Copies of this chain bind each other. A is one copy, B any other.
Amino acid sequence: MSAQEAQWSEFVGNHAGDGILHALRTGPYSFETGGFLPEVVIGYETWGTLDEQGSNAVLIQHALTGDSHVSSGDSAEAGWWEGFVGPGKTVDTERFFVVCVNMLGGCYGSSGPSSLDPEGVPWGSRFPFTTVKDSVRIEARLADELGVDVWHTVLGGSMGGARALEWAVEFPQRVERAVVVAATTASSAEQIAFAQAQCAAIRLDPAFADGDYYAAQAPGPVAGLGIARRIAHITYRSEPEMEVRFGRAHQLGENPLGSPARDRGRYQVESYLDHQASKLVSRFDANSYLVLTEALMSHDVGRGYGSVDAALARTAGVRFLVAAVDSDRLYWPEQSERLAASLPVPVPVNYITSPIGHDGFLTDIDQLSPVLESDFLSPEH
């Protein structure tokens, strides 16, 4: 157990405040594809109070590099869906008991490659191959601990949408409603392809050291992780948005046309992507990026059930809301349409209208507020 984990463990079962990171030791765990950890710790935050019937629990699932801090609560830090989750908000923390869990394999409180093994050495390259199903199964242990037998709603976008859908498939008796935004039943060939290039860039970095770079004083494979983020970020946005924001403008004081010796400055869009890369590498572990990216590549609700349709058939008792961003070119709207049409009770797709692409699920989630407030999350439900 790391020092950080030791600190968190003080909070286990002691919900000191809303939006404060807690940790739960969930015991040993055998992973879907064969790995094993003697102890899995899960980092999570909660907001509000579980009612006596245990009927008002909402699980919010974060995306690839997200964390459990979806709303500020009693902390000073704004959450990543601050305008959407909180007192009086669409996900009203005065009515609902809201839970957000750091995904297994991540680096924000849950066991991941940077966590320490029983001998005090980071797992690094030895951290098991992790799937979306693994994350959901571990989250079920947390639900048990919190006294949540059935989630009123499980809600997420992007990889969080994949996790919400996996909850409905793995534990259909424990999910009343699922809100799946900008996500698919299974990662597509193209999504796998973009992910492969990202993983390869991290592994190419000499500082990666086959995944066991924690002992070094150097910051690890930040150059490779930065390239991965650049690739990913392009796919999170849209061509028109980048064109309107940056076009071919040169970064102030730089000349991208180069000197005679071929050194050159940057276009604004390059500086922007450098900034995105820099922000990520300062807050995210490269091994966690690999583990979670490979988990996303493995995403397939049908695995273990014979087919996607057979898996979805399990969700007949779950009410679904499926949403997509109209300009998304990573999780294409057609994929949400296929998911919605494949459900035991097909539903229409709700569209977030945004010019920016996939990231619209973060920036424009409030477009789903009317349908959620009048239906899924209304006081009558």
Contact = CB atoms under 8 A, between A and B. Distances in A.
Interface of A: 31-36, 125-129, 131, 186-190, 192-194, 196-197, 200-201, 204-206, 223-224, 226-227, 230-231, 234, 239, 242-243, 245-248, 256-262, 264, 267-270, 273, 291, 294, 297-298, 300, 329, 332
A319 B114 CA distance: 62
A234 B270 contact: no
A366 to B, nearest CB: 27
29 contacts: A33-B257, A35-B260, A35-B261, A35-B262, A128-B260, A128-B261, A129-B257, A129-B264, A131-B257, A188-B243, A189-B239, A189-B243, A190-B243, A192-B248, A192-B269, A192-B270, A193-B230, A193-B234, A193-B242, A193-B270, A197-B231, A200-B223, A201-B204, A201-B227, A204-B204, A239-B332, A256-B297, A262-B291, A267-B297
- Give the most central of A193, A194, A239, A300: most B CB within 10 Å: A193
Given A187-B248, A239-B332, A230 B200 contact: yes
A194 B234 contact: yes
Contacts of A204: 201, 204-205, 223-224, 227
- Give the most central of A31, A192, A234, A259: most B CB within 10 Å: A192
A245 B190 CA distance: 11
B257 A189 contact: no
Contacts of A231: 197, 231
A102 B226 CA distance: 34
A230 to B, nearest CB: 5
A197 B32 CA distance: 34
